[in-house]
Structure 1
Amino acid sequence: MRAYGRRGWAALAAGVLAAATACSASGAPQPSPVAATVSVTPTPTTAPGVSLSEAANAFSEYILTDDLLRAAGDRRLAREITRDGRTDLANAEYASTRDRPARYAWGAPSFLVPRLRPDEPLWFTVVVPRDGRTAVLTFAKGTDWRLSSLSLLMPGEKLPEMKRDAAGYAETVGLDDKSVQISPRYVAPLHATIAERGPAGIAANLVAPGIYTTETAATIADNRTDAKTDGFRYDSIFTPADFPVYALRTVDGGALVQYSLLRTTSMTNVVFVNPFLPIPPDGRWALARDSYSHDTKIYETQQYVAALPPAAAATVIGYDGAITRANGT
């Protein structure tokens, strides 16, 4: 499943706003308690493309391999067990620590394995404690299983109850599904809109306020004002990434959606009152020099989990992201 492309998404967001308004008017590890409460529906007769045991084995192999690579500082192989936006984030994690990334302690996982046909793109989600927080990981299969997405639930947030059949398999939600207020395809572009423009954005009634939505927009506005005072021009733009979007059905008829955004933050020296541009401390590793006089661009890859009720605003409940590259003159 693919996210909406990078061009023309703002116009599409306007269309989905109208549609949404109309709609609202009418050896496996033991499961964790995190996602233990589920709705059970009859078991379909179709054999799944991914079995529960295959998902458990793939996850176990991943965390063992990942820990060995972190201990060895092997950035090249770390990229080989990831894909999509996770590859850039893995590279950044190693590069920013001089190939000494953090090692993690994992708890007991709970699996959300969709009942997919063997000829469909295959993926599954794992909900698992990691160093005291709940991580939501999704793996996708090409020639082998690789980590595609990872987000950490924010403090105080929890997953909605997930829908499963009698055999324990989860139910997917199509990217253009109209049973929810926002089809999963449009969550990323609407999130991007409100993160840039806040309550003034077209997504104000479709994406709930929060730290990664309206508060981000407020911070951008403040940074723009402060930069102008110092003689700089500042801007920060969000774009839906062309990576897979994953959506699973919740018991209330809504969806749990995983998606990625790309953020580009630029700063230009306009009047040269200050000789050097400010550089974010967590981005210094990605720059070739310690200081720049004319302009800088900072690029981030961000991965999110949003809870999408059938007739209410989407709420961002999980996030992980980092600066993945930067340049300047």
Structure 2
Amino acid sequence: MPARNVTVASLCTSCLLAAALGTGCSEGSPSSAEAEKRAAAPALSKAQAQQVLDAYTAEANRAGRKLDRTVLPGIEADPQLSMDDASLKLRRVIKRPPPTVRFTNTSFYIPRVSGYPHWFAAGAVTGQGKRSMRHALLFTQAKAGAPWLLTANPYPTSDALSNIALDPEGFATSVDADERKGLAAAPGKVPAAHAALLTDGPGAANASLMADGAQTSETYKALKQGEKTLAGRGVTLSSRFSPSQYRVFALRTKDRGALVWYVLKQNEAYSSSKRGRLAVGGDLLGLVPVKAARTRMDTTVLVQYLAAVPPKGRATVTGMYRKAVTAHGT
């Protein structure tokens, strides 16, 4: 049989997206630390948050129309910046601007914070009908007077943000990354547990913190199947996930749990002993020359996640956004 080329398109793109398509309130007394947070001033008003979102939308659409990556550093911060920069590189190659962005059904979740970075979350929808998509946008301000920048934007599969608890004045309460009291796991522990599960499976250390689902156990199974399929075509793939250096953000939910934004880094390595078996395509377009992959391709992927951590039980992943950001072929 003739040899079949394998297009290197960052295998997990299809695995994760395919998996994503498959898929009562109680109040307690706040701790002293939480009471102190509730006494702090909110990062900004809801009217100001709407202005931030409107300004971002206008500039993002300008960048999209012109496929101008130079606009992004003025409106985004990492990890969103690196991911959207890579997306515009791809769109320049395929000569297809992104659709115009228009956010509807917006809601704002603004925590009271005493120090920087200031931040807030926004729930919104783009598109209509079957093409509609939910967003869990997270904006940050590094210091006083600094611009508000979009830092994360995972895509929830449900209206997860509506479960965020609000005080009588309509503001949210932040949860520290290392806060363990009253939670099944500290928000800062979730990335490592999730990375361990995706790399080594449900039996990995701390993987039991994560509930089964499209972005956890099912993604691991899809990855293993993908590796087996590629092996049959003469290509070896190794994939490893790890917590990224980016900050974990979390807000208190109505059930006294937490909704958590975090980022994992995925390193993929494709190799074949026979030249010509690998070809660059899909998610990697724009990151490396099309003919760069001869016998090996190494990629770095960032995956944003949104997860709900309950008071008891296991964390459930409710949203994600994935993009390859670097690639190197030999």
* Fold in common (TM above 0.5): yes
Q: Is the 8 A contact 2:27 2:255 kept in 1?
A: no
How big is each residue's C-alpha offset from its partner over 1:108-133, in whole Å with a ceiling of 9 and x where there is no partner? 3100000111x332000000111222
Hey, what does 2:15 align to over in structure 1?
A: none
Amino acid at match of 1:134: R
Q: How far apart in 1 are the matches of 2:187 and 2:264?
A: 14
Amino acid at match of 1:169: F
Q: What's the CA shift for 1:160?
A: 5.4
Q: How far apart in 1 are the matches of 2:155 and 2:303?
A: 11
Hey, what does 1:96 align to over in structure 2?
A: 90
Q: What's the CA shift for 1:233?
A: 2.4
Hey, what does 1:230 align to over in structure 2?
A: 233
Hey, what does 1:315 align to over in structure 2?
A: 316
Amino acid at match of 2:221: A
Q: How far apart in 2 are the matches of 1:54 and 1:38?
A: 31
Percent identity of the aligned residues? Answer: 25
Q: Which residue among 45, 63, 70 is the counterpart of 2:64?
A: 70
Q: How far apart in 1 are the matches of 2:241 and 2:40?
A: 40
Q: Is the 8 A contact 1:164 1:170 kept in 2?
A: yes
Hey, what does 1:130 align to over in structure 2?
A: 126
Hey, what does 1:110 align to over in structure 2?
A: 107
Aligned-residue CA RMSD (Å):
2.4
Q: How far apart in 2 are the matches of 1:231 and 1:146?
A: 44
CA change 1:289–1:116 in 2 (3 A) is same
Q: How far apart in 1 are the matches of 2:81 and 2:68?
A: 13
Q: Is the 8 A contact 2:39 2:112 kept in 1?
A: no
**How many residues get paired?**
289
Structure 2: tracts of 5 or more residues without a match: 1-24
Q: How far apart in 1 are the matches of 2:126 and 2:304?
A: 17
Q: What's the CA shift for 1:210?
A: 1.8
- What SS does the corresponding residue of 1:165 show, helix, strand or coil? coil
CA change 1:264–1:102 in 2 (3 A) is farther
Determine whether 1:50 maps to 2:44. yes
For normalisation by structure 2, the TM-score amounts to 0.80
- What SS does the corresponding residue of 1:259 show, helix, strand or coil? strand
Structure 1: tracts of 5 or more residues without a match: 1-36
Q: How far apart in 2 are the matches of 1:321 and 1:38?
A: 34
Determine whether 1:139 maps to 2:145. no
Q: Is the 8 A contact 1:288 1:327 kept in 2?
A: no
Q: How far apart in 2 are the matches of 1:56 and 1:298?
A: 37
Amino acid at match of 2:227: R
Q: Is the 8 A contact 2:191 2:243 kept in 1?
A: yes
Q: Is the 8 A contact 2:257 2:311 kept in 1?
A: yes
How big is each residue's C-alpha offset from its partner over 1:138-195, in whole Å with a ceiling of 9 and x where there is no partner? 00002210000001112x5644522111111100111111121110001111111111
Q: Is the 8 A contact 2:281 2:290 kept in 1?
A: no
